[in-house]
Amino acid sequence: MKSNLLPKYLETSKGQRAKDIIKACVHCGFCTATCPSYQVLGNELDSPRGRIYLIKDFLEGEVTSKKTQLHLDRCLTCRSCETTCPSGVKYGELIDIGRTLVEKSEKRNTLDVLFRKVINYIFLNRSVLNLLLFSARFFRVFLPNNLKKLIPASKKIVYPVKKVEIQNQVIFFKGCVQDPIYPNINAAAEFILNSIGIKVILSTDSRCCGALSHHMNLHSKSEEIIKENVNYLYNALESNKVKNIISTITGCGLMIKDYHEQFEQTSPMHEKAKKISQSSMDIFEFILNNEKLIFNFLKKINFQPNLKSIVYHPPCTMQHGLKINNQVEKFLLKIGYKLNNFDEKHLCCGSAGTYSIFQRKIANTLRSRKIKNLTNEKPDIICTSNIGCILHLEKGSDTKVVHWIEMLANDILKYVGREQ
């Protein structure tokens, strides 16, 4: 796609990058077939191809409007289009550039800005989030069932710590939201890592990856968090001589993987961020790389799954962002779980970070569509790999939704003490 960007944009690295990405698009329209917002709304401007045209027009000097901003806001940044695109268009990077520039041109109304800042403040402040969760859970028992679903219940499990021979060491990035809401997920991961001889030497309690602020276009806050994290994690890697930073949240994992893209290549922060990006792994990637350790452990305890059937929902950040496709499913099958198949695996559930807060109608439509597909064969449990998906799906499903690592850990608990 040809473009004629204004000099003020061409003179910047972001403008040059946008031009290169736009040039790669051959406007074939394959992306429309897998774009969730286009599937729901049917508007070309709510498809990746349409948004590329909008961003191109803006960079060429066309007058923008609130409608331009709205079409960009409606993008879930699921990157399904990147998986589909035959030309390898880096749409996720382009939409970030477009949103940032349009945000400076089209100022949001005061209430919108205030709401975004309040949501961001709550999520980034553990004491405030804990207080709100405690209050909500206290009154949860008095609410009707349809409202109870809006408040995540939490029953903390204490996983045993065993003395085992240390095989490896990792830094564990816990994120800011998951632990206060569902602490068992990270605890389950640490339990399994400990069981196979992996020592967690540093745990980043309540540290945000920057994705939440980034999703809400609060770029100055996001940049501040990312810079702080780059310095913190780089020093942690260097001082502890550790190779991997792992996370049980695919949204955080993808954000950290993309840290190096947030800095100019000439910036001294770029090399630090690049090392962190290369060191970052999802918990599944790490376990897959240590497959022999996990299989030896499961064989030693004569492990057998406790569930009749499960269905695995691959988050967009997993399949389209981290490019991990069908591997979690193969692993779960290999260790004995029975998996149900379902249609439209590529399609987003509608969570998409804070999307389900700001674009509720589209998000809820996508959730209903996803749950219908997931529960078609009546599984015992829906499992996934991202806290956002869990929180969003469980609000609309009668089937329990859990992280796959928690499901596995809870099944392993029944065999603890059976080691030969």
Arithmetic mean of pLDDT, 242-271: 92
The whole-number pLDDT of residue 231 equals: 93
**pLDDT confidence band for 417 (50 / 70 / 90):** low
**How confident is the model at residue 206, as a pLDDT?**
65
What confidence category does residue 415 fall into, taking pLDDT thresholds of 50, 70 and 90? confident
Q: Give residue-wise pLDDT tens across range 84-99.
A: 999 999 999 999 999 9
Neighbours of 407 (CB within 10 A): 23
Contact between 173 and 289 (Cβ < 8 Å)? no
Q: What's the whole-number mean pLDDT along residues 371-400? A: 95
Domain of 64, in residue numbers: 7-105
Between these two residues, 345 and 205, which has the higher pLDDT value? 345
Looking up residue 83, the CATH number of its domain turns out to be 1.10.1060.10
**pLDDT tens per residue across span 140-163:** 877 777 667 777 777 778 888 777
Read off the CATH number of the domain in which 368 is found. 3.40.50.1860
- pLDDT computed for residue 416 by the predictor: 76
Question: Residue 126, exposed/middle/buried by CB under 10 A (0-12, 13-18, 19+)?
Answer: middle
Identify whether 24 is part of a domain: yes
Which pLDDT score is estimated for 285?
95
Query: Which residue among 53, 88, 105 closes a domain?
Result: 105
d(CA 200, CA 2): 50
192 assigned to some structural domain: no
| 229 falls within a domain | no
Per the structure, how many domains does the chain have? 2
Q: Look at residue 420 in the predicted model and tell me its pLDDT.
A: 42
The token pair at 103 is 């945000």
Last residue of a domain, one of 63, 78, 105: 105
Q: Give the tens place of pLDDT for each residue, 283-332.
A: 999 999 999 999 999 999 999 998 789 999 999 999 999 999 999 999 99
Does the residue 345 lie in any domain?
Answer: yes
- pLDDT confidence bin for 205, thresholds 50/70/90: low
Residue 101, in any domain of the structure: yes
User: What gap in Å lies between CA 144 and CA 234, rounded to an integer?
Assistant: 48
Whether residue 38 has pLDDT greater than 50: yes
Q: Is residue 160 part of a domain?
A: no
Provide the pLDDT for residue 168: 86
What's the pLDDT tens digit per position in 64-85? 888 999 999 999 999 999 999 9
Mean pLDDT calculated for residue range 17-31: 93
| Secondary structure of the chain as H, E, C letters | CCCCCCHHHHCCHHHHHHHHHHHHCCCCCHHHHCCHHHHHHCCHHHCHHHHHHHHHHHHCCCCCCHHHHHHHHCCCCCCHHHHHCCCCCCHHHHHHHHHHHHHHHCCCCHHHHHHHHHHHHHHHCHHHHHHHHHHHHHHHCCCCHHHHCCCCCCCCCCCCCCCCCCCEEEEECCCCCHHHHCCHHHHHHHHHHHHCCEEEEEECCCCCCCHHHHHCCCHHHHHHHHHHHHHHHHHHHHHHCCCEEEECCHHHHHHHHCHHHHCCCCCHHHHHHHHHHHHEEEHHHHHHHCHHHHHHHHHHCCCCCCCCCEEECCCHHHHHHCCCCCHHHHHHHHCCCCECCCCCCCCCCCCCCCHHHHCHHHHHHHHHHHHHHHCCCCCCEEEECCHHHHHHHHCCCCCEEEEHHHHHHHHHHCCCCCCC
Is a pLDDT exceeding 70 seen at residue 388?
yes
Last residue of a domain, one of 50, 71, 105: 105
Indicate whether 350 belongs to any domain.
yes
Q: Is residue 137 part of a domain?
A: no
Instruction: Count CB neighbours of 262 within 10 A.
Output: 21
Calpha distance 324→313 (Å, rounded): 12
